């Protein structure tokens, strides 16, 4: 049982994910960005109105400058963040220095701001990594101006906006006949919708964990509870402030938001409120699992103790009888009888059997 | 005691309800509805005023279209959701696309909305399944327009509105002489009233569980605590937002709500507030039970340990005396005496008896 | 120790009060009243102004109808609820149907309402049952109209208003020279004042329980903690909403409330706020007791384990020495010596004594 | 170990302070004052303006009546409460009956009120009793009128106002050149300042307790945690409402408060807010200590169990070998050899030593 | 195992930091400053506008008096607090006595105030002491007047403003072309930014602790959890009120704050809100670690018990068989057989081996 301890350590170690703790707590949105400059930047522009849509891929941010004053609605999506790019485009489109800082920051809290005729919001797209069960985030900054929307993403390999791209290609879709504010809404809506996908996957993990705890309840379960609590911290941290952010759009009196778009933001608001409720449910459930785990461990301890108590009690008669007849007295009753030995041994077994029978009857095991 | 562990697993497994966890956490109101299209749809219409009431069953939603502008109050109740039905009726009665999405959604958070001269609310009717002790929900969407109320239910086999149907048939009942807003109130009132029925049944389960824990306190109790905590999550999730929903009616300044109906909504508000208080009490009670269970398990462990301690102590003299006289020395006092053996054995029993007597006196057991 | 378990169950069972759980959780204010109609109803009327007071006992509620428009202030107190009585009097004095429903309801949440020129409030008088330590409640509904106050009580055997009756008989007492709103205040004030009496008695139980836990800390204490937690739920449920209720009077702009009465409602408000604070203190204290209990149980387990560890250690030398000299070797040192036996037995006792001495010195027990 | 339990009870009993629980929970501000009438009452008056100050000790409250309308600022301090005194002075200075009730009440929640051109506040001075570690309170009621301040204290032996007395004697001190409102501020300020003294002393007890738990962690520590939790309840109960009270002065629009005094009340407000924060920190710390204590107890249990496991394991070889060679077979190997005994005994000691060596190597102890 | 306890105490004692508790809880901002007068005071002045900047080191505070009315923006930074200095400079620059008290106070809660045409704020710079893992604080008071900013620091050896000094030397930097309010913002911004540095370092400690608990989970871990909980109290206490403080700047309508500076304070507000969120995450994480630690300790206890149960069970057959054949009967089967002994001993080993085999198969260890 000694090597047990060793083996046990090697066994549980991979389940505990301390590296994840490091990732979660190394948050600092205030320092000058230490983000590695993106090596490649992809710039996509959609220029559209109800009648027509044009889709470009551009090489330099400077090529997007015409979008500001063309009479179409322009969606400029920039995948990959390079300091000079963000500075140039911000200067041209009238994005304040502080917002530029936010776009380039890492681990910023979701927020909404209105500075100098521009509506700005920043939030995180969440993805679920099926391999390690981690909630991953990608920061997205959205700038809504008159007839244009600029979005800055960190990672060009993925986002949650394909549905928008599809709808932009459909003439007279709601998206095509509405203004830039509706495009902005549509983006936030899809980000929030994707939170549910992530939560669903996390929910599956919770289910699996519950089953595992009921079945085994070993230290691997403990590691998993630990890991899930960390992922919930990530989830909550990213989702809770989005509520205030969307509320910012609802209360805003900016001319950039048309009255008829309000109901759409109200719809997103419904969903983000519910999503936050759901996170609380998850938290409750994980605490339930933690309690369940502790109770299982206690129960098992109780059983081991019961076994010991029973064995100790069953041994008692044998020990006493063996002791009694093992004494070196000259005169010991039964010792000279032919069947004395068998009587003694018989008692050694009959008394415990009788005790077992009583224990059973009294519901002791 | 080994097969014990096996048996134990098979024994407790049915009590833990991991499938329920799955059901509870698979919530996603944002994706396009994956709801199976209802195979049959039942459409009932009540056309009434103070003087007369007409009750129809219709085959197609299109047949309800005349209800919008007839000069009677119409209650159109649609049991079973089919996408095209909802779209057609929504278009005709002026229900906004976003509300239509809500009607077709699954697991939506209870909400209240005013869009385009229509008051909309969505909440869940709750039922208690006596077989498995689960709280079941059926989503209901209510559209209140000028002189009409449309309600959309998921399941045609049940609802909580029979009391309304009865009252509609009584001439000059409060319901018959009031407007469509009063009908809308009456529906919400009945839904909330039914929450109390469900809570009462859940309360009974809590009582039974308390008794079970006090009597046995085994791992089946643990499973039951676990299950009840899940049902409470369902209950709370469905009831908490209804408070805000009803408050929405109280604060609304819509022309669709007459001033004299406000006091009725205030009455529902009283009840939903109290219902939410009560859920908190249930939660407190379940945590009390959880503590009780843990304390029982600890207490039992203590008793087992006490038994072991006592047996160990009682065996001690026999072990020592047996050891002493079992040694193979040539000169051992008493061994050659006639009654040496009986003295030794006597001591083996008298010392423990004396110890028992002292233990008893000192209140040890 | 087996029959122990049996005896133990019979022993603790009366202390756990599962019936109480049933009573607490069977709350449903929404269904049509299932209250048994009162067999006897007592109606007392006090008609007073500064100069004179008249006190009647009436047989039928219809006899109170003159009180509405006589130019005195009338307190109509109805002990015992009968549906037709409540309906008749409500109709005559202009009490809305919804309020009538509240008066007849059971387990209603304390509330305050203004409908149709009548101020209405409903709350519970609390009593402490010394026999079983339960907090009992009696619902009281107070209707404040122009120059009249009607109060509906459930139980004619008791209330908390004797002080008011005394003061009504004193000419020119504050009560006699003030309006109906002051009478209404005086009633609420006495109800709230009585909450402190109830809390005081509950506080005594908490003190007793604390002493019991410190002294014995057995499963009876556990049952008592359990019971007190339930009573606190009752207390909190009845008192928390009264704060909002009194606040309703403070914010009301009804003509039925004179400006100079506001300070009196402010005084009640002070007390109900403090009472709610105090309930939180009680809750804290009971959680402290629960922790104390658990710690006591753990401590006792530790002591039992220590005893076992000590006995095990003390037996070890005897077991080893007895084993050593009990072996059947031909050549065993000391065995042929005259005092070999005594040396061995001496060691059996000296080694443990030496161990005890060391244990003591090191503070082990 | 039996007498142990007895001794143990006698040992811990003095540390648990159940009488304190009684004191804490016997709060009832609503009943007619049961306060013993003060046997002696001390009345001090300070009549001052910028130029001169006069200090009197008076015998009867009636002698203070001239203070109302003299053109100086008067501080009337009454030590010891007698019903008739309070009634007389209240009548003369225009203090409403309800406030008079508050002055005479016991255990009242700190509050601030404006009735009939008088500003009233009531709070508790706190003292720390070094002997028993209890937080003691003395109720003080302050009445601020035009050019006078009346303060009512319960106990003439102590208060926290000496600093004010000193400053009043200094001509042209801020206090002397300011109005009655500044005097009122100065009193509240000193009461709040003294809260920090009390908290500091309680903080010292927490430190000592922490050290004690780390060193010993016995049931005396448990009693101390228990006692500190009670004192914190007292502290919090007295301090939390003072925040609202001071805020009442900040929001008040009474003419009795000059604009330039507002910043002084803001200063007190800063301190009472911080004091309440600090109480929360104390609470956190005590819960940390409770957790620490429980962990220590668990750890010690673990150690005792480890010792037992080790002794059990070490005895095992001796028991088996002694059993083997103690059997009465005719043919037993080694028994006829000269050194058979020594081989057997050697094994009895070598095997455990070897086990110890392995245990050590594997870090088991 | 006795000396164990001793060694253990010496071993863990250095890890528990009770002195730290003393430091944390000795907070009293209300008493007259007991701060040791600074022996040396360093006074630095930066006089700047867009065109030029002058940097002086002054010997006396009186030399700064010209800064009030020169037409440049002046930053007067005073390192080291001496009562007379603070009084003199406060008098000259119009800082109210109450603010002067705050500047000289110790352990003051972060606050913001507007008195007499001066904006005042006080907060703490935090540093992380890598040696002992403690969060250290240095109080800084900032006075913003027309064209001047005065900052008072406690400790001349360090602050967080070097970045400001660098930027002041760059002509036409944002800082140089903006007003005194921007300088004030820049200082608060840097203080808040540094909170993230401190939190990052604390986060690293949490990571390390998690790894340690997973690996060892001994009483050193317990001490570390204890210490981290204390540091979090410090962190939270210093950071939580800064949110209100910054909000004070956002809501202020002082002429000293230009409209265009508001967005910068909004930026700081974002960061302090997020920092407070993060502290909550840290708290969650430490509670997770505490749970993890307790579970590890329980798990280890379980393992020790399992070992004991197994050894007890394995010894049972040997004890019984040894007892059986050790009895002194004349007729004992097998005893006269040649291989009787070997059969008995064989059984002694075969039965336990068979038990082990069964245990293994059933997954018992
Ligand atoms: Mg920054
Ligand atoms: Mg990211
Ligand atoms: Mg991307
Ligand atoms: Mg959505
Ligand atoms: Mg959508
Ligand atoms: Mg929706
Ligand atoms: Mg435990
Ligand atoms: Mg949607
Ligand atoms: Mg559903
Ligand atoms: Mg359904
Ligand atoms: Mg249905
Ligand atoms: Mg209802
Ligand atoms: Mg009602
Ligand atoms: Mg109803
Ligand atoms: Mg009742
Ligand atoms: Mg009654
Ligand atoms: Mg009262
Ligand atoms: Mg009273
Ligand atoms: Mg009062
Ligand atoms: Mg009173
Ligand atoms: Mg007092
Ligand atoms: Mg005094
Ligand atoms: Mg102060
Ligand atoms: Mg002061
Ligand atoms: Mg201050
Ligand atoms: Mg002070
Ligand atoms: Mg400092
Ligand atoms: Mg410094
Ligand atoms: Mg910053
Ligand atoms: Mg910055
Ligand atoms: Mg920013």
Instruction: Give me the half-sphere count of Cα atoms (radius 13 Å) on the Cβ side of residue A279.
Output: 21
CB contact under 8 A, D2 and B326: no
Q: In chain C, whose CA is at the least distance from the CA of A360?
A: C2
Determine the Cα–Cα distance for residues C260 and D232; give it in Å rounded to an integer: 38
More confident residue, C62 or C356: C62
Segment B111-137 shows an average pLDDT of 94
Best of D322, D334, D348 to mutate (most C CBs within 10 Å, chain C): D322
Q: Return the bridge partners of A123, or none.
A: A140
Inter-chain touch C331–D325, beta carbons under 8 Å? no
Query: How many angstroms is it from C189 CA to the middle of ligand 20?
Result: 7
The pLDDT confidence band at residue D301, using thresholds 50, 70 and 90, is confident
Residues A196 and A191: their CA atoms lie apart, in Å, by 9
Residues C50 and C153 in one domain: yes
State the pLDDT confidence band at A365, using cuts at 50, 70 and 90.
low
To which residue do tokens 């630690």 refer?
E293
Q: Are B74 and B206 in contact (CB under 8 A)?
A: no
User: C301 at the D interface (CB within 8 A)?
Assistant: yes
pLDDT reported for residue E5: 45
Question: CB of D163 within 8 A of CB of E32?
Answer: no
Residues of B in contact with A302 (CB under 8 A): 297, 300-301, 304
Distance CA B193, CA C27 (A): 12
Q: Are residues D121 and D214 in the same domain?
A: yes
What ipTM was assigned to the predicted interfaces of this complex? 0.84
Q: Can you name the residues that pair with A149 across neighbouring β-strands?
A: A75, A144
Which range (B202-206, B264-268, E24-28, E209-213) has the least confidence? E24-28
D99 & D221 share domain: yes
Q: Which residues, other chains included, contact E84 with Cβ-Cβ below 8 Å and sequence gap of 6+?
A: none
Chain-chain contact of A3 with D362 (C-beta, under 8 angstroms): yes
Please name the residues in contact with C333: beta carbons below 8 A apart, sequence gap of 6 or more.
Answer: C340, D341
- What's the CA gap between B287 and B229, in Å, rounded? 9
**CATH number of the domain within which A334 lies:** 1.20.58
Nearest CA in chain A to E363: A216
User: What pLDDT score does C365 carry?
Assistant: 55
Same domain, residue pair A243 and A348: no
Provide DSSP, E252-268: ---TTS-GGGHHHHHHH
E277 touches chain A (CB under 8 A): yes
Closest chain E residue to the Cα of D193, Cα to Cα = E30
Please identify among residues 329-358 of chain B the ones whose CB lies closer than 8 Å to any CB of chain A.
Answer: 332, 334-341, 344-345, 348
Mean pLDDT on B10-23? 65
Percent of chain A with pLDDT over 70: 93
Q: What is the pLDDT of residue A363?
A: 62
User: Which of these ranges, A326-340, B141-155, C166-180, E52-66, has the smallest mean pLDDT?
Assistant: A326-340
- Give per-residue pLDDT as tens, D14-45: 567 777 777 777 777 876 556 678 888 999 99
d(CA B2, CA E354): 13
Whole-number pLDDT of residue E16: 73
Nearest CA in chain A to C3: A362
All partners of chain A with 3 or more CB pairs under 8 angstroms: B, C, D, E
Ligand 11 center to D231 CA (angstroms): 56
What confidence tier does A122 reach under pLDDT thresholds 50, 70, 90?
Answer: very high
Span D66-72, average pLDDT: 92
- Determine the Cα–Cα distance for residues A269 and A246; give it in Å rounded to an integer: 6
Neighbours of ion ligand 4 (CB under 5 A): A 189, 193, 271; B 30
d(CA C331, CA D346): 15
Distance CA B205, CA C237 (A): 21
Asked if C282 is an interface residue toward chain D (Cβ–Cβ < 8 A), one would say yes
Distance separating alpha carbons of residues E84 and E38, to the nearest angstrom: 11
Residue C273: its pLDDT value, please? 95
- In tens, the pLDDT along C229-285 reads 999 999 999 999 999 999 999 999 999 999 999 999 999 999 999 999 999 999 999
Res. B15 pLDDT band, cuts 50 70 90 = low
D97 touches chain E (CB under 8 A): no
Domain edge (last residue) among D249, D265, D295: D295
pLDDT at residue D332 above 70?
A: yes
Q: What is the pLDDT of residue B307?
A: 80
**What CATH code is carried by the domain that includes residue C268?**
3.30.460.20
- Res A33: pLDDT: 52
Please give the average per-residue pLDDT across C134-145, as a whole number: 96
Residue E289 and residue E326 in one domain: no
Does E311 sit within 8 Å of D316, measured CB to CB? yes
Contact between chains at D324 and E322 (C-beta distance less than 8 A): yes
Q: What pTM, to 2 d.p., does this model score? A: 0.86
Average pLDDT, chain D: 88
Residue of D nearest to B360 (CA): D2
pLDDT for A297 equals 85
From the CA of C78, how far away is ligand 16's center (Å)? 9
Q: Residue A364 above 70 pLDDT?
A: no
B22 touches chain E (CB under 8 A): no
**Is residue C304, in this structure, part of any structural domain at all?**
no
Give the position of tokens 């009197």: D56
Lowest mean pLDDT across A191-200, B72-81, B331-340: B331-340
Same domain, D84 and D140: yes
Q: Which residues of C touch E5 (CB under 8 A)?
A: 362-364
Q: For position A214, what pLDDT does the model report? A: 86
Q: What is residue C4's predicted lDDT score, i.e. its pLDDT?
A: 46
Please indicate if any CB of chain E lies within 8 Å of the CB of C364: yes
pLDDT score recorded for residue A112: 96
Q: Per-residue pLDDT tens for A155-180? A: 999 999 999 999 999 988 999 999 99
Are C301 and B299 in contact (CB < 8 Å)?
no
Residue D303 lies in a domain: no
Question: What's the pLDDT at A8?
Answer: 45
Nearest to E358 among B2, B6, B326 (CB): B2
Sorting pLDDT into bands at 50, 70 and 90, what band is D300?
A: confident
Q: Is residue A199 part of a domain?
A: yes
* Residue A348 CB contacts under 8 Å (≥ 6 apart), including other chains: A317, A318, A321, A322, E320, E323, E324
Is residue A8 in some structural domain?
A: no
Per-residue pLDDT tens digits for E218-274: 778 888 999 999 999 999 999 999 999 999 999 999 999 999 999 999 999 999 999
| Average pLDDT across chain C, whole number | 88
Query: How many structural domains compose chain C?
Result: 2
Assess whether A347 and A242 both reside in one domain: no
Instruction: Clarify whether residues D207 and D351 are in a common domain.
Output: no
At residue A6 the predicted structure's pLDDT band, cuts being 50, 70 and 90, is: very low
**Contact across the interface for B364 and D6, Cβ inside 8 Å:** no
Q: Do E2 and C326 touch (CB under 8 A)?
A: no
Neighbours of ion ligand 22 (CB under 5 A): D 153, 155, 159
Local confidence band at E300 (pLDDT 50, 70, 90 cut-offs): confident
Residues from chain A contacting residue D364 (CB–CB below 8 Å): 2, 5
**Cα Rg of chain D, angstroms:** 34
| Distance of CA D69 from the midpoint of ligand 22 (Å) | 26
Q: How many angstroms is it from C231 CA to the middle of ligand 17?
A: 23
Contact A5 D364 (CB under 8 A): yes
SS3 (DSSP) at D309:
helix
For residue A38, name the pLDDT band (cuts at 50, 70, 90).
Answer: confident
Coil vs helix vs strand at D156: coil
Ligand 3 ion: residues within 5 Å (CB): A 153, 155, 159
Q: Please tell me the predicted confidence (pLDDT) of residue A205.
A: 92
Give the residue carrying structure tokens 């000592």.
Answer: D208
How far is C-alpha A271 from the geometric centre of its chain's CA atoms?
18
Shortest CA distance from D320: residue in chain C: C323
Q: How far is A206 from chain E (nearest CA, A)?
A: 17
For residue E44, give the 3-state DSSP assignment: strand
The pair of structure tokens assigned to B188 is 């919400």
Same-domain check for residues A171 and A317:
no
| Chain C hits for E6, Cβ within 8 Å | 362
- State whether residue A169 is helix, strand or coil: coil
Domain boundary among E251, E266, E295: E295
Q: With beta carbons less than 8 A apart as the criterion, state whether D185 and D179 touch.
A: no
Cβ within 8 Å of residue E360, ≥6 positions away: none
Q: What is the mean pLDDT of residues A85-99?
A: 95
pLDDT at position A32 is 57
Burial of B3 (0-12, 13-18, 19+ CB in 10 A): exposed
Collect all residues of chain C within an 8 Å Cβ-Cβ radius of residue A363.
5
Interface of E with D in 195-224 (CB under 8 A): 219, 222
Residues A214 and A332 in one domain: no
For residue E163, report the distance from its CA to the centre of ligand 1, in Å.
12
pLDDT at B129 over 70: yes
Give chain D's length.
Answer: 365
pLDDT digits (tens, 9 = 90+) for A215-254: 887 778 888 999 999 999 999 999 999 999 999 999 999 9
Inter-residue contact A30 to E226 (CB < 8 Å)? no
Q: Residue E290: inside a domain, yes or no?
A: yes
E85, part of any domain: yes
Q: Do residues B334 and A336 make contact, with C-beta atoms less than 8 angstroms apart?
A: no
- Which of the pair, D315 or E284, is modelled with greater confidence? E284
Please, which residues have CB within 8 angstroms of residue D193's CB and are 6 or more apart in sequence? D160, D271, E30, E31
The count of other CB atoms within 10 Å of the CB of residue B258 is 13
| Distance of alpha carbon B221 from alpha carbon B212, whole angstroms | 7
Ligand number nearest CA of D97 is 19
* CB atoms B291 and C290 under 8 Å: yes
CB pairs under 8 A between A and E: 180
CA dist list (Å): A320 to A173, A316, A347, B339, C348: 92, 6, 11, 19, 18
Closest by CA to C328, choosing from D317, D323, B340, E342, is: D323
Q: Is residue A300 part of a domain?
A: no
Between CA B75 and CA B47 the distance in angstroms is 7
pLDDT at residue A14 in the model: 55
What pLDDT band is residue A3 in, cutting at 50, 70 and 90?
A: very low
pLDDT higher than 80, residue C67: yes
Instruction: Give the model's pLDDT for residue A9.
Output: 43
Residue whose entry in the numeric block shows the structure tokens 């500003």: D119
Same-domain pairing of B289 and B198: yes
User: Which residues have a Cβ under 8 Å from the Cβ of E91 and sit 6 or more positions away?
Assistant: none
Mutate to test the interface with B, among E362, E363, E364, E365 (most CBs of B within 10 A): E362
Share above pLDDT 90 across residues of chain E, in percent, rounded to a whole number: 61
A237, E277: Cβ pair inside 8 Å?
yes
Domain range for D270: 14-295
Q: Token pair of D282, please? A: 């104390």
Tell which of A4, A21, A235 to mutate to test the E interface (max E CBs under 10 Å). A21
Judged by average pLDDT, the poorest of A79-83, B35-39, B67-71, B164-168 is B35-39
In this complex, is the C-beta atom of B1 within 8 Å of any C-beta atom belonging to chain A? yes
Ligand positioned closest to the Cα atom of E270: 31
Cα distance between residue E62 and residue B115, in whole Å? 68
DSSP for D96-112, please give it.
-HHHHHHHH-SSPPPEE
Same domain, B221 and B96: yes
E306 pLDDT exceeds 90? no
Higher pLDDT, A73 or A336: A73
How far away, in angstroms, is E249 Cα from ligand 1 center? 17
Nearest Cα neighbor of D135 from D240, D219, D212, D205 is D205
The answer on pLDDT for B3 being more than 50 is: no
Residue E304 domain-assigned (yes or no): no
CA distance D317 to D321: 6
Interface test mutation site (partner D, options C323, C326, C335, max chain D beta carbons within 10 A): C323
* Per-residue pLDDT band at A199 (split at 50, 70, 90): very high
Question: Which segment of A210-224, C13-27, C291-305 scores lowest on mean pLDDT?
Answer: C13-27
Which element (helix H / strand E) includes E112? strand E111-115
pLDDT, mean over chain E: 88
User: What confidence category does residue E53 fall into, taking pLDDT thresholds of 50, 70 and 90?
Assistant: very high
């Amino acid at each position: 049982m000694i090597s047990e301890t060793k083996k046990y350590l090697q066994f549980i170690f991979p389940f505990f994910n301390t590296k994840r703790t490091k990732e979660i707590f190394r948050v600092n949105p205030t320092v000058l960005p230490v983000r590695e400059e993106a090596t490649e930047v992809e710039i996509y522009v959609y220029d559209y109105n109800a009648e027509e849509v044009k889709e470009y891929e551009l090489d330099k941010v400077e090529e997007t400058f015409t979008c500001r004053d063309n009479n179409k609605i322009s969606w400029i999506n920039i995948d990959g963040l390079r300091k000079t790019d963000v500075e140039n485009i911000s200067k041209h489109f009238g994005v304040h220095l502080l917002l530029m800082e936010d776009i380039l920051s890492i681990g910023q809290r979701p927020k909404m701001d209105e500075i100098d005729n521009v509506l700005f919001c920043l939030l995180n797209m969440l993805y679920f990594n099926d391999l390690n069960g981690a909630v991953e985030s990608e920061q997205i900054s959205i700038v809504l101006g008159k007839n244009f929307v600029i979005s800055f993403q960190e990672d060009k390999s993925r986002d949650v906006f394909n549905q928008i791209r599809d709808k932009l290609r459909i003439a007279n879709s709601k998206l095509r006949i509405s203004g830039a504010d509706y495009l902005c809404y549509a983006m936030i809506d899809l980000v929030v919708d994707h939170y549910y996908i992530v939560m669903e996957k996390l929910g599956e993990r919770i289910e699996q964990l519950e089953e595992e705890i009921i079945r085994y309840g070993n230290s691997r379960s403990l590691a998993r509870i630990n890991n899930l609590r960390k992922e919930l911290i990530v989830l909550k941290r990213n989702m809770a402030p989005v509520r205030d952010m969307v509320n910012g759009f609802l209360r805003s009196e900016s001319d950039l938001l048309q009255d008829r778009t309000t109901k759409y933001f109200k719809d997103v608001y419904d969903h983000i409120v519910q999503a936050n409720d759901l996170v609380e449910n998850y938290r409750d459930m994980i605490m339930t699992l933690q309690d369940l785990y502790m109770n299982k461990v206690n129960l098992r301890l109780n059983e081991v103790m019961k076994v010991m108590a029973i064995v100790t009690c069953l041994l008692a008669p044998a020990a006493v009888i063996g002791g009694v007849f093992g004494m070196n007295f000259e005169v010991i009753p039964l010792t000279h009888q032919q069947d004395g030995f068998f009587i003694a041994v018989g008692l050694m077994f009959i008394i415990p059997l009788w005790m077992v029978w009583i224990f059973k009857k009294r519901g002791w095991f």
